[in-house]
Amino acid sequence: MVKRQRKPQKSVIEIFKIYLLEHARVLFASLGRIMKTPFTSLMTVLVLSVTLTLAGGFYLMVKNIQQLSGSLETSNQISVFLKTKVQEREAKTLAATIKGLPEVVSVKLIGKRQAMEEFKAYSGFGDALEALDNNPLPIVLQVLPVAKSMDAAAIKRLMDKLERYPAVDFAQLDMLWVKRLQSISALLQRTVMVLNSLLAVAIIFIMGNTIRLELQNRREEVLIAKLVGATHAFVQRPFIYTGFWLGLFAGVLAWILITLVVFVLSEPVENIASLYQGQFELLFLSLTETLGLLALSALLGVLGAWAVLFYQLRQIRPA
């Protein structure tokens, strides 16, 4: 028998250190491997990043719409449409009367001409309106009730009161639109949740397929490593890290793509916002959300790799 040197007992810390070093080695080795096949890797990263961009874009859309309906939520503004025959002077008197009501904070009068200008500018019917002999638009009083948290019944009472003035055609609560917007936004949110879950599954499958091909290319290597005593964990480590890197790179690229999309969309969105006199700013991914995107894409990469390895590695015989 060989005189086997007794292995010096390694301390736990030392074993852990070697373990970490091994992980670091594989981390960079798999990065090197990705760089060796730039074209294939780039294709995978591109496909993944487009998928991630879609998911991130959906997320941002919902976030912005929520912001929109959120900022409107606090306004209980009532639009009071006067009868068309009512003239500007009469309207001013009525505005002053309404302003005198205890439930009302402010009243803003939108004259026929102003209404027409706005309508022409934004409706797209500018030329058609030129053809009209007289201005068909009524005067509108925008009434802001006192308490922002006024309950629905109180607002209803106020609206009834306003509608009783003879000059008033009807009063409309702008809140109604907010309510509709909110329910649309809730629907949208749920839709996006479902879509994004599907996209996450797609990412896992794309990654799984990439790793499967990589595993096929390196079958011989895996086999030899197993024959000299490699554990499953050892054999699958480089593939898991490949998944990590591809996922991370896809996340970075997706962030850049999302930024571009937001940049392209910001101007038209601001135009729309100005139409509604809204204090609306297109929201972008926060730092936390950006980090979340990167972490999630790396995690999905790892998951995809792991899912495939779990089945495929056990099929490479001998065990």
Distance separating alpha carbons of residues 82 and 89, to the nearest angstrom: 12
Nearest residue to 171 via CA among 192, 157, 188, 151 = 157
Rounded least distance, CB 235 to other proteins, Å: 9
Q: Write the interaction track for other proteins spanning residues 227-266; mark x where CB under 8 A is met and - where it is not.
A: xxxxx--x--------------------------------
Which one among 4, 85, 89, 164 touches other proteins, defined by CB under 8 A?
4
First to last CA, the chain: 29
Which one among 121, 147, 152, 224 touches other proteins, defined by CB under 8 A?
224
Q: Which is nearer to other proteins, 2 or 287 (CB)?
A: 2
Q: Are 293 and 52 in contact (CB under 8 A)?
A: yes
Return the number of other C-beta atoms located less than 10 Å from residue 237's C-beta. 20
**Contact window for other proteins (CB under 8 A) among 43-51, 173-181, 222-230, 248-256:** 222-230
Q: Count the residues of the shown chain that bind other proteins, applying the rule CB under 8 A.
A: 24
213 binds other proteins (CB under 8 A): no
Which CA distances in Å does 313 have to 25, 107, 115, 174, 308?
21, 73, 71, 62, 8
| DSSP helix/strand/coil, 171 | strand
Q: Element (H or E) spanning 173, and its range?
A: strand 168-173
Distance separating alpha carbons of residues 155 and 106, to the nearest angstrom: 15
Rounded least distance, CB 40 to other proteins, Å: 16
For residue 35, the one-letter residue type is M
| H helix intervals, the chain | 12-36, 38-73, 88-99, 112-123, 126-130, 152-163, 175-217, 219-227, 232-275, 287-315
89 binds other proteins (CB under 8 A): no
1 binds other proteins (CB under 8 A): yes
Which one among 88, 117, 221, 281 touches other proteins, defined by CB under 8 A?
221
State the pairing for strand pair 78-82/168-173: antiparallel
Q: Are 247 and 299 in contact (CB under 8 A)?
A: yes
The number of residues making up the chain comes to 319
Rounded least distance, CB 24 to other proteins, Å: 12
6 binds other proteins (CB under 8 A): no
Q: Which is nearer to other proteins, 12 or 264 (CB)?
A: 12
307 binds other proteins (CB under 8 A): no
Distance separating alpha carbons of residues 185 and 183, to the nearest angstrom: 5
Rounded least distance, CB 1 to other proteins, Å: 5
Q: Which is nearer to other proteins, 85 or 317 (CB)?
A: 317
**Contact window for other proteins (CB under 8 A) among 136-144, 187-195, 242-250, 311-319:** 311-319
Q: Which is nearer to other proteins, 164 or 317 (CB)?
A: 317
Site for other proteins in 17-46 (CB under 8 A): 18-19, 21-22
- Residues in contact with other proteins by CB under 8 A are 1-4, 15, 18-19, 21-22, 220-221, 223-231, 234, 317-319
